[in-house]
Amino acid sequence: MSQTGRGGSHLAEALARGDERAIRSVVEEFTPLVRSTARRVVRDHTLAEDVVQDTFLTLWSEPGKYDPARGSLSGFLTTIAHRRAIDVVRSEVARSNREQRPPEPTPPIDVEGEVWTRELSRTVREEIQGLPEGEREAISLAYLSGLSYVAVAERLGVPEGTVKSRIRSGMRRLARSLADLSP
């Protein structure tokens, strides 16, 4: 039963209903055409078979996309196959390029910088712990927890101006105690 000529609307209706016989018939009739379309583009038997499978899977999962008023079923299927094949070629080229690209060089480890950063971090934590409780809480909530002055004031149950004063005072103390540190 050839579907390329008349009867396309009956076939479209059968496909839209999910009629397995119609789908099986289309697969049997159009596999050679779809396969040759795929092979011309991808030039690899295995990849072409994947394209064939994707093409018919598209027809099976979305049969309503075929509209006989817009063209023949063979044209519809070869268009899908051609597009899928181009996608496969692009994907294969990108994969090949990734595989041929040398790995990114890893930057050398700056041991001295790592030690300095860790020591500075430890020292800052110690200095924050040495602040008066009100300053320590305000700075921790604002800088370490990322809260706004208003949110810190609400959390601590104090006026916003008090929070700002505690933070300024604590930051001055930290600046003085950390001033002697240098890389």
| Residue spans per domain, the chain | 8-100, 127-178
- In CATH terms, 127-178 corresponds, of 3.90.400.10, 1.10.3720.10, 1.10.10.10, 3.40.50.720, to 1.10.10.10
Inter-residue contact 74 to 33 (CB < 8 Å): yes
Residue 4, pLDDT > 80, answer no
Least Cα distance to 77 among 135, 7, 124, 8 occurs for 8
Close Cβ partners of 31 (under 8 Å, ≥ 6 residues apart)? 52, 56
pLDDT of the residue at 124: 85
Close Cβ partners of 21 (under 8 Å, ≥ 6 residues apart)? 14
Q: How confident is the model at residue 23 (pLDDT cuts 50, 70, 90)?
A: confident
SS3 155: helix
Q: How confident is the model at residue 71 (pLDDT cuts 50, 70, 90)?
A: confident
Residue 91, pLDDT > 60, answer yes
Question: Which range among 4-18, 83-97, 147-161, 164-178 shows the weakest confidence by mean pLDDT?
Answer: 4-18
Tell me how far apart the alpha carbons of residues 174 and 130 are, in angstroms, rounded to a whole number.
9
Average pLDDT in the 128-153 region? 90
Average pLDDT in the 56-73 region? 86
Query: How many C-beta atoms lie closer than 10 Å to residue 142's C-beta?
Result: 20
- pTM of this structure: 0.52
pLDDT of the residue at 5: 44
Residue 6, pLDDT > 50, answer no
Q: How far is CA 76 from CA 34, 79, 102, 163, in A?
A: 10, 5, 42, 70
Residue 183, pLDDT > 80, answer no
The topology under which CATH files domain 8-100 is: Rna Polymerase Sigma Factor; Chain: A (1.10.1740)
Tell me how far apart the alpha carbons of residues 135 and 163 are, in angstroms, rounded to a whole number.
8
User: Checking phi first, is residue 28 left (phi over 0); if not, alpha (psi -120 to 50) or beta?
Assistant: alpha
